[in-house]
Structure 1
Amino acid sequence: MIDIPSPAVAVVGRHNSGKTTLIERLIAELVGRGLDVGSIKHHSHRGFDIDIPGKDSYRHRAAGASETVIAAPGQVARIKTVEDEVECSELVRSMPNHDIIVVEGYRKSGLPTIEIMRSGNEADCRAARLFVKAAREGLPLTTDFTQLGRAVDRAGNAAGRDGAGEVPGLGEMPGASDYSAAADAAAKMPSTNTVAVVTDIPEAEEAAALYGIPAIGLEDVAALADFLSEHYVRPRVTVVIQAGGESRRMGQSKATVPFAGRPLICRLVERLSPVADELIITTNEADKLGFLHDMYPDLTIRLVGDAYAERGALPGLYTALAAAENPYVAVVACDMVFASARLVVAEALAMHESGADVVAPSNKHGFEPLHAMYRKEGCLGAVHARTERGEKRVQSFFDDPAVTVLPFNQDRVLEVEPRGGCFINANTPEELARIEQSYLGE
């Protein structure tokens, strides 16, 4: 089992902002779209317990067990005593293989945060007024809003209940009647981690616009789900194994050449399918690979013929990109005996974090384009244009000014696969025999 790290976002706000209600509706919306959603709730009080007094598991813990697992068909729960509060990042790492994790609270976790401000909550209204004042004055989101809130309170108190005061950096402020407890509101304010504001308060909408942050209506859960799907949900990955056809140097199709007693393509399918949301094999010998459907009935394997009659790595890449239904496309040659699912995951994460169109392993000899990740939207047009010009090499489109290429250097590859060997391939029966002998001797 290959664990895929889960992306996470935090929904934050002041007490009674409606975080739990929003998250409940958001999770239902995301799940309704076919996504696998995890959730984390930050409980600010020490000593909460989810077990029930009198139950067997409760009795185990009461007797002194530091960790108890409760298991039943379809469910498992783990209750563990810890010395200090567990960091949110550690909790997220312990929850792999979700399309997204929605976190309630953990404002200071460093996660991207969705700020909620509700007009029915006075603390939110105070925060919104402070937020928009700071935005109008051009103060950065790195501003210490706690100190600013205290300054607002002091100015309001000095001006009297119906007067007005002057706050350095903010100009004239209304009196204390509008800004009492501003310091309390300022303790939980938007920051540089804020990626969207969910609100029905006009001042908060204005402030978000001034800071260039999307503002989403409090009741528009579908729009919030759209935003998360576009920017934070784990992108779906199509894995394409390029099997081509008959190899002259091998003397037969590399896909069906025996390796460890089975067709070589079986090894690639088994190594890469755990990280494939969609699995495609490009081949001009679909009739010879039909056995894969019988061998792997739980997998949906698509056999796709070449889009171009001309052979070549670049036309093959075009076929892969055109056939893929997902935004990220991992392309791997079928003769890479030690192809790495972990490398596919690492390349996808690097693409998601960097925004690159290509993430390709690189070393002093250049790129390894046939164990690389391609963004379909960013690459398809450029690959098509170069293919139409008669180019054959994949790297021929890497210099396209519209395409961003991120080299995934050797050190990063070794972090993922310390033993290396991901790019070892076989072009002749003799090479394959040596690789097989090494493999069987492991």
Structure 2
Amino acid sequence: MVNVPSPAVAVVGRHNSGKTTLIEQLIACLVGRGHDVGSVKHHSHAGFEIDYPGKDSYRHRAAGASETVIACPGQMARIKSVEGELECSEIVRSMPGHDIVVVEGYRKSGLPTIEIMRSGNPADVNVAEAMLKAARAGEPLGTDFVQRYREEERRAREAAASADAPAPDAPADASPADAPADPHAHTAEDDLAHKMPDANTVAVVTDIPEARQAAVLFNVPAFDLDDVEGLAGFLEEHYVRPRISIVIQAGGESRRMGQSKATVPFAGRPLICRLIERLSPVADELIITTNEHDRLGFLAEAYPDLDIKLVGDAFDFRGALPGLYTALTAARNPYVAVVACDMVFASAALVVAESLVMVDTGADVVVPVNKHGFEPFHALYRRSGCLPAVRRALDRGDRRAQSLLEDPEVHVEEFSQKRVLEAEPHGGCFINANTPDELKRIEDSYLEE
């Protein structure tokens, strides 16, 4: 599995809101749709045990091992001692390669949160009423609703008590129950104040009318408790790692290389094999654009599980933009990563990092940029936003990839060198070989590592 970050969302709510039931149904639904789902459960009590006395793994730990892995065919568990409590972000970073990680709890993690509120839970009803009151008052999502309105109610009670104050000769043995409540006393509302919807709330799941009304006013989607399919669809659209078609542009005979770049030997094997093996782990569809179908026919036998599609050029003239048009028209998925076949260190991790930026920003193109300019042949393209723009440019006779990035109707998100190195610390993603000498130098460097 490629070591790329997993997108994550948190399902939060108060005690007895039904978080675990919702998460169980949501995971089953997402898995049923073909996604790889990880999960995290926040346990509020220290010292929970999954490793019991008498078990061999327990004996390993008791002997002083700080980390123990229990493995058998099809399963593995890791038990590790840590100081204090790990941040949720650290836990999610330790779970790479999932289409999505669903977290139960960790309200303050900073993750996008799905708030669940159930009418059968009095605490949820109180929160929903306070949330609606705040929404009607034009307060921003994230206001400490409960504390604010609790303070208002306290002031109202004090004003009423002052107006109805007993005469000075009231009996000294008046019942303490008649005394006003201590405004500083800790109440259940204090606990609720730390469990309110906030600026990270991206959806509400509820059967409480006030919560639904508040969600509408806050412009947050609301789902019924039993609308798990609707919630899963929302996550697919906004948070699940999107389906990606990866297109390796192999072309054909290269004049400077003196032969096909796809089949030129690299470390004893055709160069195209290296690209396939580096990129296929994150490809929901793998396409190779080539005019040498016969010479690359061996790939179907070499990689029978990948269902590699060989596609010829859509036009009989060369150019970066015609090649991009071929890639976009051949792809079935909404996101299309385009990589040149001579990029020896092409990175699956970079493709996924670009896809997460595209989800977050709504961009049509996420393109790496460095001191040399844009790198359009290790960029990610939104098929629906780019295909019409490419067609327009071709119709006016432009064959440059740069023309797509200059189109005012195309939302281009630059992916800085710093972010490239965060995704792929080894770097070298854009190194390409145009001549036998260049390829030899890259190969020698690679074999020396």
Q: TM-score, normalised by structure 2?
A: 0.88
**SS at structure 2 position matched to 1:84:** coil
Say whether the 8 Å CA contact 2:117–2:124 is kept in structure 1: yes
Q: Provide closer, same or farther for how the CA distance between residues 345 and 151 of structure 1 changes in structure 2, counting only shifts above 3 A.
A: same
**SS at structure 2 position matched to 1:71:** strand
Task: Read off the aligned partner of 2:400 and give its amino acid letter.
Answer: R
Counterpart position of 2:43:
43
1:65 CA drift (Å): 4.2
Please give the residue correspondences for 1:19-418 in structure 2 after superposition, counting only pairs within 5 Å.
Answer: 19-62=19-62, 64-154=64-154, 157-158=157-158, 182-417=189-424
1:186 CA drift (Å): 3.1
Distance in 1 (CA, whole Å) between partners of 2:76 and 2:257 is 50
Q: Provide closer, same or farther for how the CA distance between residues 153 and 17 of structure 1 changes in structure 2, counting only shifts above 3 A.
A: farther
Distance in 1 (CA, whole Å) between partners of 2:418 and 2:25 is 43
Counterpart position of 2:165:
none
Distance in 2 (CA, whole Å) between partners of 1:220 and 1:30 is 13
Say whether the 8 Å CA contact 2:4–2:423 is kept in structure 1: no
Deviations 1:70-99 (A, max 9, x none): 222211112233231111111111111111
**SS at structure 1 position matched to 2:223:** strand
**SS at structure 2 position matched to 1:78:** strand
Say whether the 8 Å CA contact 1:57–1:68 is kept in structure 2: yes
- Range that drifts further, 42-51 or 355-364: 355-364
More relative contact order in 1 or in 2 (CA 8 Å, sep 6+)?
2
Task: Read off the aligned partner of 2:91 and give its amino acid letter.
Answer: L
Q: Provide closer, same or farther for how the CA distance between residues 423 and 83 of structure 1 changes in structure 2, counting only shifts above 3 A.
A: closer
**SS at structure 2 position matched to 1:77:** strand
Deviations 1:261-280 (A, max 9, x none): 33221222222223322211
Deviations 1:193-239 (A, max 9, x none): 00001001010011111111111111111111111111110112221
Distance in 2 (CA, whole Å) between partners of 1:305 and 1:55 is 59
Q: Provide closer, same or farther for how the CA distance between residues 97 and 126 of structure 1 changes in structure 2, counting only shifts above 3 A.
A: same
1:19 CA drift (Å): 0.7
**SS at structure 1 position matched to 2:345:** coil
Identity of aligned residues (%): 73
Task: Read off the aligned partner of 1:124 and give its amino acid letter.
Answer: D
Distance in 2 (CA, whole Å) between partners of 1:64 and 1:260 is 44
- Range that drifts further, 367-376 or 189-198: 367-376
Say whether the 8 Å CA contact 1:153–1:183 is kept in structure 2: no
Task: Read off the aligned partner of 1:423 and give its amino acid letter.
Answer: F
Distance in 2 (CA, whole Å) between partners of 1:409 and 1:389 is 31
**SS at structure 2 position matched to 1:307:** coil
Counterpart position of 1:169:
none
Q: Provide closer, same or farther for how the CA distance between residues 392 and 129 of structure 1 changes in structure 2, counting only shifts above 3 A.
A: same
Q: Provide closer, same or farther for how the CA distance between residues 187 and 264 of structure 1 changes in structure 2, counting only shifts above 3 A.
A: closer
Task: Read off the aligned partner of 1:372 and give its amino acid letter.
Answer: A
Q: Provide closer, same or farther for how the CA distance between residues 58 and 212 of structure 1 changes in structure 2, counting only shifts above 3 A.
A: same
Distance in 2 (CA, whole Å) between partners of 1:53 and 1:420 is 47
Q: Provide closer, same or farther for how the CA distance between residues 50 and 157 of structure 1 changes in structure 2, counting only shifts above 3 A.
A: farther
Q: Provide closer, same or farther for how the CA distance between residues 413 and 47 of structure 1 changes in structure 2, counting only shifts above 3 A.
A: closer
Deviations 1:232-273 (A, max 9, x none): 101122211101122233333221223333322122222222
Q: Provide closer, same or farther for how the CA distance between residues 66 and 249 of structure 1 changes in structure 2, counting only shifts above 3 A.
A: closer
Deviations 1:334-371 (A, max 9, x none): 12223233332332233233322112222344212112
Task: Read off the aligned partner of 1:321 and give its amino acid letter.
Answer: L
- Range that drifts further, 183-192 or 34-43: 183-192
Say whether the 8 Å CA contact 1:148–1:186 is kept in structure 2: no
Q: TM-score, normalised by structure 1?
A: 0.89
**SS at structure 2 position matched to 1:248:** coil
Deviations 1:142-172 (A, max 9, x none): 32235214315525755889xxxxxxxxxxx
Counterpart position of 1:173:
none
Equivalenced residue count is 426
1:397 CA drift (Å): 1.5
- Range that drifts further, 100-109 or 324-333: 324-333
Q: Provide closer, same or farther for how the CA distance between residues 18 and 439 of structure 1 changes in structure 2, counting only shifts above 3 A.
A: closer
Distance in 1 (CA, whole Å) between partners of 2:279 and 2:134 is 51
1:290 CA drift (Å): 0.4
**SS at structure 2 position matched to 1:308:** coil
Say whether the 8 Å CA contact 2:127–2:146 is kept in structure 1: no
Distance in 2 (CA, whole Å) between partners of 1:374 and 1:270 is 21
- Range that drifts further, 361-370 or 210-219: 361-370
Task: Give the unaligned 5+ runs of structure 2.
Answer: 162-180, 182-186
Task: Give the unaligned 5+ runs of structure 1.
Answer: 162-175
**SS at structure 1 position matched to 2:22:** helix
1:305 CA drift (Å): 1.3
Say whether the 8 Å CA contact 2:9–2:101 is kept in structure 1: yes
Task: Read off the aligned partner of 1:25 and give its amino acid letter.
Answer: Q
Say whether the 8 Å CA contact 1:112–1:194 is kept in structure 2: yes
- Range that drifts further, 76-85 or 201-210: 76-85
Q: Provide closer, same or farther for how the CA distance between residues 62 and 433 of structure 1 changes in structure 2, counting only shifts above 3 A.
A: closer
Distance in 1 (CA, whole Å) between partners of 2:429 and 2:78 is 37
1:435 CA drift (Å): 3.7
Say whether the 8 Å CA contact 1:315–1:392 is kept in structure 2: yes
Say whether the 8 Å CA contact 1:208–1:215 is kept in structure 2: yes
